[in-house]
Each structure stands twice: as C-alpha cells, then as structure tokens.
C-alpha cells in the first residue's frame, strides 16, 4: 500500500494522499457554500494525517488561496462577487492582517500566546453565533407578524441601515451588492476583521462573511462570493509570508487543491438553491462547533476536539451536497418538462 503514501520533502513525512484529497474536497464544499477559507477545519485534519503542526497554518493558507480562486470563478459567473467592494476591502484587510500578525509576534516575544489566541477566538465566535441566531429568531418573528423589509424579504438585524447613513466622502455605489455607502465603511470593517485574522492566524472569512452581511449590508449570496474573493487575495498574501518563514509544504497544497476544486463546485452551486437564511443558520452551527472544538482543545481534550471538527465537516458536507443535488435534479427536471412541452412530438 506504499502507493497511497506520498513523501513531503519539506515536512519530511510520508502522508496518506487520499486523506489530503478528502480534506481538500470537504473544505471546498463548505468554503464554497459559506464563503470562507476553512483553516479551522484543515488544521486538525492535517494533524490527524501526521502533518507537523509547524506547517499546518502555512499549508492551509496556500491551499485556501487556490481553493478560493476556483470558488470565486464560479460565484463570479452567478454574479455573486462585487469586485469594487472586494478591492476596497482588500486594502483594509492587508493592513489589518499585518497589524494582527505584528501583535502576535510581539506577544510571542513575551511568552506562549496559544491560550490568549484561543480565548479571543472563542469570544468572537460566541459573538458571531449569538448574532446569527438572534438575527434568525428576529426574522422569523417579523415574518410571522407580516413585516417585509423590501425586495430582500424579511430581515432580522438591519444594523447596516444605520451604518449606511454615515456620510463621510467618498460615497460609493456598489452595483452588484445593490447599495451606496461611504467607502470608509467597508475599508474600516475589513481592517478590523483583518486585524483579527492576522492575530488568530486564519484567513478571516469566518469574521468577514457575517460582517459583510450585518455591518455592510450585502445580501447573503453576494457576501459569500465577495468574501471568497477577499479570502483568495489574503490567502495568497498569507501563503507568501508563511513561505518566507518556511512554514509551508507545497506538495500537500497541490494534492489538497485537486480535491478542493471538485468540492468547491458543489458548495458554490448549492448556494443557488439555498435561501440566504439557510446559509446563515448553517454558518452559525458551523461557528458553534468550531467554538466548542477550541474550548475542548484548551482544556486538553484534543482528540475530542478533532473528532468534533471531523463530524461537523462530514455533516455539513452531506447537508450541502443534498441541497446541491436536490436543487440540480429539480432544475434539470423542469428544463426537461419545458422542452417536452415546447416540442411534444420529439
């Protein structure tokens, strides 16, 4: 069974390559659906396959960049990527990531910061999960009461409306996302999420996607597509900086990317058949599982933490694949019926 193992020259270990393909595939599905890189899912998976932790983050970053490129291409065809918004946010993200990374290096010089990073991570994940489920509960209540917020339908939290009233020039109209706001709003939000991403050593999609929805006011589908564009750029930047530090295993990146390219198609196409709140609630569940896994790890239950992440990945993959295949089958049936109706004799 030697052919199932591949030698990683930089990390110096033999790795089960179908495992890498499977991780790439799963994260491709989930990332394409939620608009995030999925570093929190890749790291424990790589570790279980026998990958040294020193290389996990850098390898994640490069893989995320390539995978997001595939997903962005697909989302772009659906019209889910607002490039103007993405480019404005890229600048804030870069500066933010660099400041976050500098903070980590400063704290590293003081001592071990693993625990600090985990506390901050858990705190923000708890905030996001609370926001997502509070928003959902509010939207359900409003819908039952018959309230409609406009062409998007019923919405729970509409904080973005208050932020859109900020009149600091330049005011920019984002055609794809369908709103006008001060350019400082996306720049500022991306800066803050970038600082967090750099500090936690992640791509930042986990924070940026909800920020795009709740603070900037993007429809969920466009938030997913635009965030993936951001993840692609920040992932390439992250790959560069981690490569400079020698913390990357390129062979693993390519193997994982091959699986991710297939998974990304499923995750991305599934967004076509999902409602915005369906994506948001599933995202909230993923955030809660991520949070619990970090808490378990903090208290020394590393195996339970990895198991929880793997179970979450598997269930999310099944859920998203079901949405995609059911939606695709229904669409093909409709097309066939329409064709038969227009040509009854053929």
Partner 1 sequence: MRSLLKRVLCFIAGIGLCLPHLAWASGEVATNLVVVADTRRVTGFLKYIANTYNTDPWLFAVWAVVITAVWGGILGFVMDFIMERSGLDLKSRKIIEH
Residues 52-71 that bind partner 1 (CB under 8 A): 54, 62-63, 65-70
Distance of closest approach, residue 311 Cβ to partner 1, in angstroms? 27
Kindly tell me which of 284 and 308 has the beta carbon lying closer to partner 1.
284
Q: Considering CB under 8 A, how many residues would be counted as binding partner 1?
A: 77
Give the chain's end-to-end CA distance (angstroms, integer).
Answer: 52
The minimum distance between CB 307 and partner 1, in angstroms, equals: 26
Closer CB to partner 1, 311 or 339, in the complex: 339
Exactly one of 219, 229, 231, 308 binds partner 1 (CB under 8 A); that residue is: 219
Select from 42-50, 180-188, 265-273, 303-311 the region that touches partner 1 (CB under 8 A). Answer: 265-273
Could you say whether residue 87 binds partner 1 (CB under 8 A)?
no
Q: Is 201 in the site for partner 1 (CB under 8 A)?
A: no
Instruction: Identify any residues that bridge with 174 across adjacent strands, giving them in sequence order.
Output: 179
Name every residue whose Cβ is closer than 8 Å to that of residue 165 and which is 6 or more positions away in sequence: none
Cα–Cα distance for residue pair 172/175, rounded to 1 Å: 9
Smallest gap from Cβ 245 to partner 1, in A, equals: 8
Residues 226, 235, 47, 250, Cα dihedral to 10° = 130
Helices assigned H by DSSP within 111-219 = 114-144, 159-164, 184-200, 205-211
Compute, in degrees rounded to 10, the torsion defined by CA atoms 130, 133, 134, 136: 160
Q: Which of residues 13-42 bind partner 1 (CB under 8 A)?
A: none
- Quick one: tokens of 253? 């990146």
Span from 93-101, 183-191, 237-245, 288-296 in contact with partner 1 (CB under 8 A) = 237-245
Identity of the residue, 241 or 307, whose beta carbon is nearer to partner 1 in the bound complex:
241
Q: How far is CA 175 from CA 79, 142, 266, in A?
A: 11, 28, 27
Which of 103, 16, 94, 12 lies closest to 55 in space, CA to CA?
A: 12
Closest alpha carbon to 245 in 93, 42, 101: 101
Min. distance of Cβ 224 from partner 1 in angstroms?
Answer: 11
Residues 285-324 that bind partner 1 (CB under 8 A): none
- Residue 257 or 316 with smaller CB distance to partner 1: 257
Contact segment (CB under 8 A) with partner 1 among 41-49, 87-95, 151-159, 183-191 equals: 151-159
Regarding 220 and contact with partner 1 (CB under 8 A), the answer is yes
Question: What residue ranges in the chain does DSSP mark as E strands?
Answer: 5-8, 13-16, 171-174, 179-182
Q: How far is the CB of 237 from partner 1 (least distance, A)?
A: 8
Positions 104 through 143 that interact with partner 1 (CB under 8 A): 106-116, 119-120, 123, 139, 143
Residue partners of 192: CB distance under 8 A and separation at least 6: 96, 211
In the complex with partner 1, the residue whose CB is nearer, 120 or 171, is: 120
């Amino acid at each position: 069974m030697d052919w199932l193992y591949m030698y990683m020259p930089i990390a110096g270990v033999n790795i089960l390559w179908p495992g890498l393909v499977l991780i790439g595939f799963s994260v491709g599905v989930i990332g394409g659906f939620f608009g995030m890189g999925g570093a929190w899912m890749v790291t424990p998976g790589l570790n279980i396959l026998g990958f040294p932790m020193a290389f996990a983050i850098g390898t994640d970053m490069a893989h995320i960049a390539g995978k997001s490129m595939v997903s962005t291409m697909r989302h772009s065809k659906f019209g889910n990527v607002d490039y103007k918004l993405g480019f404005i946010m890229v600048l804030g993200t870069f500066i933010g990531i660099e400041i976050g990374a500098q903070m980590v290096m400063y704290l590293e010089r003081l001592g071990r910061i693993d625990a600090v990073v985990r506390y901050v991570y858990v705190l923000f994940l708890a905030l996001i999960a609370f926001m997502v489920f509070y928003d959902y509960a509010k939207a359900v209540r409003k819908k039952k009461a018959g309230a409609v917020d406009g062409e998007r339908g019923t919405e729970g939290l509409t904080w973005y409306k208050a932020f859109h009233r900020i009149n600091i020039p330049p005011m920019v109209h984002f055609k794809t996302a369908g709103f006008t706001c001060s350019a400082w709003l996306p720049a500022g939000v991306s800066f803050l999420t970038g600082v967090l991403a750099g500090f936690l050593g992640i791509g930042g999609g986990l924070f940026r996607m909800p920020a795009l929805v709740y603070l900037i006011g993007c429809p969920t589908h466009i938030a997913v597509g635009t965030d993936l564009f951001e993840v692609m750029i920040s992932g390439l930047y992250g790959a560069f900086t981690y490569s400079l530090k020698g913390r990357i295993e390129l062979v693993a990146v390519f193997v994982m990317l091959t699986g991710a390219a297939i998974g990304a198609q499923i995750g991305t196409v599934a967004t076509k058949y999902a409602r915005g709140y369906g994506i948001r609630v599933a995202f909230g569940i993923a955030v809660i599982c991520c949070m619990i896994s970090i808490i378990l790890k903090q208290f020394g239950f590393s195996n339970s933490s990895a198991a929880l992440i793997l179970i979450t990945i598997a269930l999310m993959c099944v859920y998203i694949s079901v949405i995609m295949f059911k939606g695709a089958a229904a669409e093909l049936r409709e097309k066939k019926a329409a064709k038969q109706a227009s040509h009854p004799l053929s």
